[in-house]
Amino acid sequence: MGMGKLTCLFLALGLVMSMPAFAAEDIEALIKAGDHRKLEMYYLEEAKNLKAKADHWEFLAEYYEKFPYEYTGDIAYVHMHIVNLRAMAESNRKAMHDARDLAARHRSLVRKGP
């Protein structure tokens, strides 16, 4: 029974690890096909996911500012941790804006045609 669980775990882990590769192939296929409507939808979804990540990192930074003793590491480093969380949030926000810009470009190409 233990070997079966271990096998299932490795299969599940392999599937999860290969998902980004499937997504990369999908976006490459859309780019090659020139399907601007689907590319617009892809980038809008990507922007939505990046916004959620940015909001998550920002929430954590605010949480550690309000409750610095909840930080599990050395309390002397909590400020540095907050700065890093805000940097990750900003990085995700920048990527979100880039994805929205790409979606807008593909939307304009759908209207104009190839």
Q: What is the pLDDT of residues 51-79, one digit of tens each?
A: 999 999 999 999 999 999 888 888 889 99
Burial 90-100 (b: 16+ CB within 10 A, else e): eebbebbeebb
Q: How many CB atoms lie within 10 A of CB 87?
A: 12
Measured distance CA(72)–CA(2) in Å, rounded = 33
| Alpha-carbon torsion (82, 83, 86, 91), positive or negative | negative
For residue 20, pLDDT over 60 is answered with no
Chain segment 72-87, per-residue pLDDT in tens: 888 889 999 999 999 9
Q: Let me know the angle formed at the C-alpha of 39 by 33 and 40, rounded to the nearest 5 degrees.
A: 145
In the chain, where the domains are located:
1-33, 34-114
Please state whether the predicted TM-score (pTM) of the whole model is above 0.85: no
Mean pLDDT of 37-64: 96
